[in-house]
Amino acid sequence: MFWKGFLLVLFAVGAGAQTNAPPMPGAPVPGKAGLGATGPTATYPVPVSLGDAIRLAQANASQFRTAVTEAGLAHENKVQARAALLPGVSYATGAILTQSNGTPSGVFIANNAPKEYISWGSAHEALSLALVSDYQRMRALEAVARANLEIAQRGLVTTVVGAYYGVIVARDKLKNAQAAADEAQRFLNLSRQLQQGGEVANSDVVRAQLQANDAAVAVGNARVATEAAKLGLAVLIFPNFTENFDVVNDLEQIPSLPDFAQAETLAGKNSPEIAAATEALRAAQHEVTSTIGDRLPNLTIDYFYGIDATRYAVRTDNINNLGYSVLATLNVPVFDWGALRSRTKQARLQRDLAQVQLSETQRIALANLRIFYQAAATAQGQLGIFKQSVDLATESLRLTTLRYQSGDATALEVVDAQNALVLARNNYDDGAARYRTAIAQLQTLTGTF
C-alpha cells in the first residue's frame, strides 16, 4: 500500500508540473485558436522585430523583387557584352556530297570534290570601337540597375518602418483608449456616489455617463484601427496571410540624429539617386561612342584548324590533311543614306537629356536632404515636449479629480483633464513613430548612420 500511495503522489506531482510549466515558443496553446490553426489549438504569436520585418519584406515584396531581377538581368547583359569582345571557339564537322560527272568538282562546280569532309575547330574575333563601347555601356547600365536596387531597398525600408510603427502606435492608442475608458468609468462611479450623498447634481452624472460612452466608442474604434494596421503589415512582409505574429515594441529606443554637415557628407557619397543618374549619363556617353564606332572600319578574324579533304582522315595517300586557314576581313562603311549619322544624333540627344536629368537629380537630392533632415530634427525636438505634456496631463487629471471630490472643480473640468491626458499620450506615440519614419526617410539619401 505504501508503494502504491508513493507512486500516486509522484504521478500527481508530475502531472501538476506539466500543467503549470510555461509552453515553449511556438508550442500549441490550448484554447487559443487563431487564423491558420488546424484544430482547437494554435501556436504562440511569432515575435517580429523591425529587422525581421525588413528582411521578410525584401523576400516577399514584388516591387523590390522586380528591382532585384532588373539588377540580375543588367549583370548578365554585361557578361554577354564582355563575351563579345573575347575570341569565340567552336567545332564543326560534316560532309558535302556532290553528284559526280567525271570532273574533280562534280556537277556543282562551286564544290571542291564529289566527296568533301570537314572537321575543324575555329576561333572568331571581332575588333571594333562599337563593341568596346557597348561593353562600357553595359557596365554603366549595370551600375544604374544596382543604384535602382538600392533606391528600392531604402524605399521599402521606409514603407516597412511606417507600417511597423503604425502597428505599435495603433496598439498603444488602444491601450490609451482602454485606460481612458477605465478612468471614465471610475469618474462615473465617483459622480454617482457623490450624487447619492447630495454633494453634486444629476447633471454631473449625465456628463460622466456621456464621457464613459464616448470612451467605450473610442476603444472600439482603436481596436479596429489596430487590427487594420496589423493586417497591413502582414500583407507587406509575409508570403502567406497570417495574423499569428506580434511586433516588438522598441518605440522608446530613440535613434540618434547626426548633425547636418555629416548628413550632407553621407548623402554626397551614398545617394543612390545621384549614383543612378551619373551612371545613366555615362551609359549615354558610351552609346554616342558606339554609334560613332559603327561608322568606322571594323576587323574580323577567323582561324580554322582541322581537315577539309576528300576523305575523313588525317592523311590521304601519304598527304597530311591537317592544316589551318586564316580569314581576315576589314569592313569599311561607305554609304548608308545617313542612317548611322542619324543614330549618332539620337544618342547625343539622349546624352544631353541624361545630363539635364543628372543636374535636376542633384538639385532635388539637396532639397530633399534639407527637408528630410528638418523633419527629423523637428520630430526629435518635439519628443521632449510630448513627454512633458504626458506628465503634466497625468498630474492635472489627478489634481482635478481630487478637487472635484472636495467640491472645488466641476465635472466638465474632470472630463477636459481626461481628454487632455488621452490626447497627450496619443501625441507622444505619434511623435515617436514620426521621428522613426523621418529617420528612415532621411536614410534613403544618406544610407545608415
State pLDDT tens for residues 124-171.
999 999 999 999 999 999 999 999 999 999 999 999 999 999 999 999
Question: Looking at residue 342, what is its pLDDT?
Answer: 97
Give strand pairing partners of 329.
300
Instruction: Using alpha carbons only, give the angle 80, 83, 88 rounded to the nearest 5 degrees.
Output: 130
Cα 377 vs. chain centroid, distance in angstroms?
25
Question: Looking at residue 4, what is its pLDDT?
Answer: 39
Cα 344 vs. chain centroid, distance in angstroms?
38
- CA gap 232, 241 in Å, rounded: 10
> What are the respective helix, strand and coil percentages of the chain, to the nearest 5?
65, 15, 20
- For the segment 169-195, the average pLDDT, to the nearest whole number, is 94
Which tens digits make up the pLDDT trace of 233-284? 999 999 998 889 999 999 888 899 999 999 999 999 999 999 999 999 999 9
- Position 308 confidence tier, pLDDT thresholds 50, 70, 90: very high
Q: Would you say residue 71 has pLDDT above 50?
A: yes
- Local structure of residue 258 (DSSP, 8 states): -
- For the segment 198-214, the average pLDDT, to the nearest whole number, is 92
- The three three-digit cell numbers of residue 407, written as one number: 467640491
Cβ atoms of 244 and 34 within 8 Å: the answer is yes
- CA gap 264, 445 in Å, rounded: 9
Question: Looking at residue 316, what is its pLDDT?
Answer: 86
Nearest of 86, 78, 88 to residue 127 by alpha carbon = 86
- For the segment 2-9, the average pLDDT, to the nearest whole number, is 37
Q: Which amino acid is at 409?
A: A
Cβ atoms of 60 and 48 within 8 Å: the answer is no
- CA gap 418, 409 in Å, rounded: 14
- CA gap 238, 56 in Å, rounded: 7
Q: Would you say residue 302 has pLDDT above 70?
A: yes
Q: Where are the alpha helices (DSSP H) in 87-128?
A: none
Quick count: other Cβ atoms within 10 Å of Cβ 244?
17
Question: Looking at residue 317, what is its pLDDT?
Answer: 85
The architecture of the domain spanning 128-296+338-446 is Up-down Bundle (1.20)
- For the segment 393-416, the average pLDDT, to the nearest whole number, is 93
Instruction: Provide, rounded to the nearest whole percent, the portion of the chain with pLDDT above 70.
Output: 90
Nearest of 265, 268, 223 to residue 365 by alpha carbon = 268
Question: Looking at residue 106, what is its pLDDT?
Answer: 86
Give strand pairing partners of 116.
96
**DSSP letter string over 11-72?**
HHHHHHHHHHSPPPTTSEEET---TT-SSSEEEPPEEE-HHHHHHHHHHH-HHHHHHHHHHH
Question: Looking at residue 44, what is its pLDDT?
Answer: 77
- The three three-digit cell numbers of residue 202, written as one number: 444629476
pTM of the model: 0.79
In this structure, of 13-27, 34-48, 233-247, 273-287, the range with the lowest mean pLDDT score is 13-27
Question: Looking at residue 234, what is its pLDDT?
Answer: 95
- Position 43 confidence tier, pLDDT thresholds 50, 70, 90: low
Nearest of 413, 449, 437, 446 to residue 157 by alpha carbon = 437
- CA gap 422, 403 in Å, rounded: 20
Instruction: Provide, rounded to the nearest whole percent, the portion of the chain with pLDDT above 90.
Output: 79
Which tens digits make up the pLDDT trace of 419-449? 999 999 999 999 999 999 999 999 999 999 8
Helix, strand, or coil here: 440?
Answer: helix
Cβ atoms of 412 and 207 within 8 Å: the answer is yes
Q: Which amino acid is at 399?
A: L
- Local structure of residue 325 (DSSP, 8 states): E
Strand order in the sheet with 88-97: 88-97, 115-127, 298-309, 323-331
Cα 229 vs. chain centroid, distance in angstroms?
19
